[in-house]
Amino acid sequence: MKKLYLGIDVGSISTNFVLMDDNKQVVKDLYLRTSGNPIQAVKEGLKEISSVCEDRDMAGCGATGSARKLTGVITGADLVKNEITAHGTAAVHFIPEVKTVLEIGGQDSKIIIIRDGHAVDFAMNSVCAAGTGAFLDAQATRLKIPIEKFGSLALKSKNNVNIAGRCTVFAESDMIHKQQTGHSEEDIINGLCNSLVRNYLNNVGKGKDIQPPIVFQGGVSENVGLVKAFERTLGHKIIVPKYNKVMGAFGVCLLLKDLVDREEIKKTTFRGFKTADLDIKTTSFECKGCPNHCEVVEARINGKVISRWGDRCGKWSNQ
């Protein structure tokens, strides 16, 4: 009987799946848009993954990403892990000597400092959009240029155009000014890439010991213009691994396999691919039990409460 491991990484912009076999080879990977509905994105992904395997093949299922708690509850995940551990584990698997991991997603960005295969420091930014993929998406929409073409256009730039990058509002107004003064689209786009890199390094990377080898992952790492901007600024080659867009999900698969190999997971709690057809809803309410007034989230499958979380004291989550 074959053993398969399913990793799910649910973020604000994308929902990623990796199905890995016992030899640490990817059987199937998916990069889907979350589109503001993580439950629906997970259901769609499960439906697609079910086309290549069955419940009985599953040795484990794990979740990571900003919606990892919700994902773990509705799928019956054996493991719910933070993004730092998941991304770091995947990076070390592909580039064992890696010392720095740059990861930029749709709504947040992070840096992981790795020494001797272990994460020793990290930083995350989930407050300002100026150093994320959402920043580039917004400007691509404004320029009426598909985001997929941003990188190749940036490489055609002949002149260095400085775009303010400390804030999305300032960056956009500066970009409009550069358009009005006659700068080319290629130069402006290249300026935006440089702006994002500066913002990232001045905020997320501030005070961090950035050493090569440097691995760049996350959806934004597809942008070759941004890769070149990092290389120019840091003075080192930037490595973009094979499964760069789904590294969080792949890292979860590796962590799952390790737990199964050590017999810490003997039988998976994965609910199965039928989850894709179930009626799954979440609601929230404010607990009035004490002055904390915790906002409690409640998940139901086919009308039955399966989990609650968000309370500090455990009054609801422990039921």
Whether residue 267 is found in the same domain as residue 289 = no
Whether residue 118 is found in the same domain as residue 229 = yes
- 317 part of a folded domain: no
CA atoms within 13 A on the CB side of 163: 33
- 169 part of a folded domain: yes
Cis peptide before 213, with omega less than 30 degrees from 0? yes
- Segment (H or E) for 6: strand 4-10
* 32/42 Cα distance (integer angstroms): 9
- Range of the structural domain that residue 263 is part of: 4-86+248-277
* CATH code of the domain containing 153: 3.30.420.40
* 177/261 Cα distance (integer angstroms): 58
Q: 190: pLDDT confidence band, cut at 50, 70 and 90? A: confident
**Whole-structure pTM value:** 0.87
Instruction: Please report the pLDDT score of residue 184 as a whole number.
Output: 80
* 102/216 Cα distance (integer angstroms): 5
Whether residue 223 is found in the same domain as residue 266 = no
CA atoms within 13 A on the CB side of 287: 19
Whether residue 74 is found in the same domain as residue 160 = no
- 29 part of a folded domain: yes
Whether residue 137 is found in the same domain as residue 225 = yes
- 69 part of a folded domain: yes
43-52, 104-113, 195-204 — most confident range: 43-52
- 91 part of a folded domain: no
Range in 51-60, 103-112, 164-173 the model is least confident about: 164-173
Whether residue 206 is found in the same domain as residue 151 = yes
- 74 part of a folded domain: yes
Q: Beta strands 295-301 and 304-309: pairing type?
A: antiparallel
